[in-house]
Structure 1
Amino acid sequence: MSNNLEALEDWAGGLLSQLEPAARNKLARELGQALRRSQQQRIAAQRNPDGAKYVPRKQRNLRGKQGRVKRKAQMFQKLRTAKHFKLRFDGNAITVGFAGRVGRVAKVHQYGLKDRAENGAPDVKYSRRAILGLDETTLQVIRDKLIEQLSV
């Protein structure tokens, strides 16, 4: 995957350096928004970048809970909102990711690390769920946006 990204960077690097700063910023904003949108759709579909489904959540004993139990809740539902899923860009770089406490939760799931579900709870090893990553469709979206901007 990194080879594809490096090849894309080599291909577009010379052309992007010829753009004016305003056009480069506009392109960075459009690419960042498209990248965030594709990541949000993949997270909503509960898929890793390679197409495999996320490992399901561990079943919890909810017998003592009063009222109705929501079974259809998806993982990372709030995490993929624009409030938490930050986009930063300038003429030279585009960054899509999480910051702060939400970033820590995302990192634990991204790499399958150990963490505590709440204070005083024992450490739990979380399954690896790739929240961020590039797949072929995302790379194609980036290529299309680059070609669209450079042909104008």
Structure 2
Amino acid sequence: MNGLHALDAYLAGLLAKLDAPQRRLLARTIAVELRRRQAARIAAQRNPDGSAYAPRKPQLRHKRGGIRRAMFSRLRMARYLKAQADPNTAVVTFAGTAQRIATVHHFGLRDRVNKNGLMAQYPARELLGLDAADIDAVTEMVVRHVL
């Protein structure tokens, strides 16, 4: 988190020079880029620190030769992974029912496997987060926009 606070302090002076419509435009471009980067990281099944997600548990009803889907293939769609912006904030969040599913997996909580199923403890898989490359990309976008 120290890198995020340092970024905030550095960029605060640059952003003070912009008026509200320019800040909103910048925040929108940052939010869209972060959404793209988060979706790519989820597709690669990596935590923000670079470690791999905990593997799925073996499924009881997998047929031989069946199609195996990657985890969170629908959660990373733009329909569920939303980029929101206003003059002061850029936010990437999950929307609707996807938010509950993402929260369970992000924090490793207990939840029902299906509507009438048993409760299961899910391992923590960090879906959203910033790594050093994301912070560098945001810094680059702000500097490019201001200058």
Give 1:86 deviation, angstroms: 0.8
Q: Extract unaligned runs of 5+ from structure 1.
A: none
Over 6 Å off, 4+ runs: none
Counterpart residue number, 1:150 = 146
Task: Report whether the alignment pairs 1:86 with 2:82.
Answer: yes
Deviation per residue, 1:13-50 (Å, 9 max, x gap)? 12202201121111011111111111011011110001
Secondary structure of the residue that 2:45 maps to in structure 1? coil
Counterpart residue number, 1:58 = 57
> Could you tell me which amino acid in structure 1 is paired with residue 137 of structure 2?
V
Distance in 2 between residues matched to 1:120 and 1:44, nearest whole Å: 29
Of residues 105, 117, 129, the one that matches 1:121 is 117
Distance in 1 between residues matched to 2:74 and 2:93, nearest whole Å: 14
Task: Report whether the alignment pairs 1:104 with 2:103.
Answer: no
Distance in 1 between residues matched to 2:52 and 2:73, nearest whole Å: 16
Distance in 1 between residues matched to 2:38 and 2:131, nearest whole Å: 10
Task: Report whether the alignment pairs 1:3 with 2:6.
Answer: no
Counterpart residue number, 1:69 = 66
Counterpart residue number, 1:18 = 17
Counterpart residue number, 2:43 = 44
Give 1:94 deviation, angstroms: 1.0
Task: Report whether the alignment pairs 1:95 with 2:94.
Answer: no
Secondary structure of the residue that 1:32 maps to in structure 2? helix
For the 8 Å contact 2:80–2:96, the answer to whether it is kept is no
Give 1:69 deviation, angstroms: 1.4
> Could you tell me which amino acid in structure 2 is paired with residue 5 of structure 1?
L
Distance in 1 between residues matched to 2:18 and 2:115, nearest whole Å: 51
Percent identity between the two aligned chains: 39
- TM-score, normalisation: structure 1: 0.92
Give 1:100 deviation, angstroms: 2.3
Secondary structure of the residue that 1:57 maps to in structure 2? coil
> Could you tell me which amino acid in structure 1 is paired with residue 103 of structure 2?
K
Counterpart residue number, 2:135 = 139
- TM-score, normalisation: structure 2: 0.95
Q: Extract unaligned runs of 5+ from structure 2.
A: none
> Could you tell me which amino acid in structure 2 is paired with residue 40 of structure 1?
A
Secondary structure of the residue that 1:76 maps to in structure 2? coil
Give 1:68 deviation, angstroms: 5.5
Give 1:119 deviation, angstroms: 2.2
